Structure 1
Amino acid sequence: MATKMYNSHLSTILYSCNEYYILDTYMALVHISSEVNSKYIIQNYSDSKADLISLIRNRYVKASYKTVFNCLNTLIEKKIISYDNTIGAWTLNDMENMTKSADNAITLQDNAFTGYTKIRSFFFTDEFSNMKAREKRLIVYMAQLSDSKASEFHNGFSMNLLKHNSGWLKVLKTKCRYYAKYTIEKLLNKYSDLFKDTSEDFRQRDYSPDRNKKFKFSFYCPSLDTRKLEEDTIELVKLANIKEYNMIMDKLKFAEVTLSKKLVMHFVRAISNIKEWFIKERVVQLIVNKYRAIQVYHSRENIKSLPAYAAAVVKAVVKEYRQFKSSISLENVKKYEVGEYFMEYIDNNVNEDISYDIEKSLSLF
């Protein structure tokens, strides 16, 4: 369950990309990814862009297929995301670097350890989705500043558009301070419910000439508050995958297994990108059985990393499903009957130990 975005990726998007919904697309991809041993993967076992787009379109990105397709292509061209055939998953490249210290840099390229920005639930609201591209860039830039340890903007924001090499001008992709001033004023007025504008008080305490004061702004943005961020993210995952959440909770309750809220959300995220429901059920049952052996029978060692273990189970079950499809003809089988045939196949091959495939897959993550 990813809760952070890599600042290096964000900088590439903010300064080098112009697609209207590219920030929405990137955020959605990060949000549906799972952190498995520092790597961020989207495990849907298909290198098809169409399958990946179907996971995020409408649910997270309210745009046409072609729009999201173009955004995804740009992210691939910028080497932000790629498909890894070895693990059968889309991978958000180099995101493992975002939590590393710059002190660990070995090469000049390693100096790109630029930290991370936390995902806000506001980023998935209609209000954010309907913003103009430049407004979205400003909001994300504010989130970056708010999360930066070196930043002075943890409780509010102030800006001086006359300042040389102003970051605000770079984000707006303009050198015209009058255009930037107009954009900021319009943003604060248009979204007065999001921002508390304190510019007038800020200017009254400033002793610079009046002609310069109008280029200075000060404001707060409560929507970027990070104090309840993890709880918000967990709730967002739950609401977006309510059927998966309910199934997992029912099976955990029946098996008398107890998991923390965060582990449940990792569990939900692990199966949320799988297309077939019967595969989700198979994965959930295997993991629940493992936890029952741990908690009830005390016959197994505890799972060190649920995201890694769940990823291995998914990979093993998908392999099992592919073997099933290659062993029988599904030409005359109705779509809703495939799951029944699959479960019958599993029952008939009960001697096949899937544990070996799980352990083998676990070594890849």
Structure 2
Amino acid sequence: MVKVDNSEIAPALLVCDRDVLGTKLDDVVNLMRSGVGRVVGDEVGKSGRQSGAFAVALDTSFPRSPGGLRTYLPEHLGNGYWDVVELVPGIYSSITDAHYHRVHRLAHPDETLIKIRVICSGTLLIGTRREAISGGTAHIHSLHPEKANCFSYEIQPGALQMVTLHLLPEALENFGIDIRALHLAIAAANTAGTDANPSQPISVSPLLLRIASDMIQSRDRLPPALRLTYITGKSRELLTEILTSLFYGVPNSDMTGTAARETRLKRRIQEAKRILDSSGATPPTIEQLARMVGVNRTTLKTAFKATYGRTIHQYHAERRMNEARRLIEESALQIGEIAERLGFAQLSQLSTAVKRHFGCSPRELRRRQQEPDLPPPE
């Protein structure tokens, strides 16, 4: 039976009395992790709207750890709040649900950061060109310390509902994202050349806006502890949808017609190759592989050859021969052991395959690796 440690501290959203907008992300995170502030205990009333009472609805005797940080707007600026939630170290999401009484200008601090904004309602003026981005749009911004002072934005009076992802490059690299390619994609959209930090609009699908809207509206539908889990999951979904749009040119939810079919088939053929690469000596049959990736046998064979320039059988045979050569030259295994490991029923089958592929027997191949001055086989 799995034992549950009831002493483990549950995450909570903390209210910070400091204005953290425009502050370095590291400082915001340190403040959040320090546990400074009161626990948010938004109370859902009969109307379904939350009163904003802080500790009324919480059992304060239950231990809590900081899972996020909330800062409310000062009265002279307007009303509403910004929530900051940590997904993983280096990747954070912020949710803005506020109404500004006047223009509010924010300058980005000197830090290397990628920001992705999805605006459901409201208007921002971005950068020195004061480019207007409004509700129903999404943008990605690449920030650098030496140019941060050149990049600021103004929040315009009125309602602002927005979700922002704050991404440290090294954290994205841990997810397998090619940061150089991402920066090139962002820079390619910077046509003006006057802004120090380029801004690229992102194709917005209905799903993208719905994810952001659901994150904002979750305050009215979920208790605080569950809301943190919900926001974390939705933030990951939002990030996946946006990165798919950037690297594949079209969001998952927006693909239709021929483009959709071609993109899906390409990904399934890539998946088939990954399965073959990890299958060792006993690869699946073509029928099994087709079922695993969700295409028919004929489509798999035709598309695989068109993509990789060889049949599935040829690809597996070449991969097995390369592995045979590596084991013969680099390992201390007996040739018979290598034959067994690679799925050859008999040693003679391995010998025949190696001689046909490399022009010499396995033993000759190993001897030539150990004695590189030997003449090549005739």
Same fold (TM over 0.5): no
Structure number, greater radius of gyration: 2
Q: Comparing both chains, which one has the higher relative contact order based on Cα–Cα distances under 8 Å and sequence gaps of 6 or more?
A: 1
The structure with the largest helix share of the pair is 1
The structure with the largest strand share of the pair is 2
Structure 1 length normalisation: TM-score? 0.22
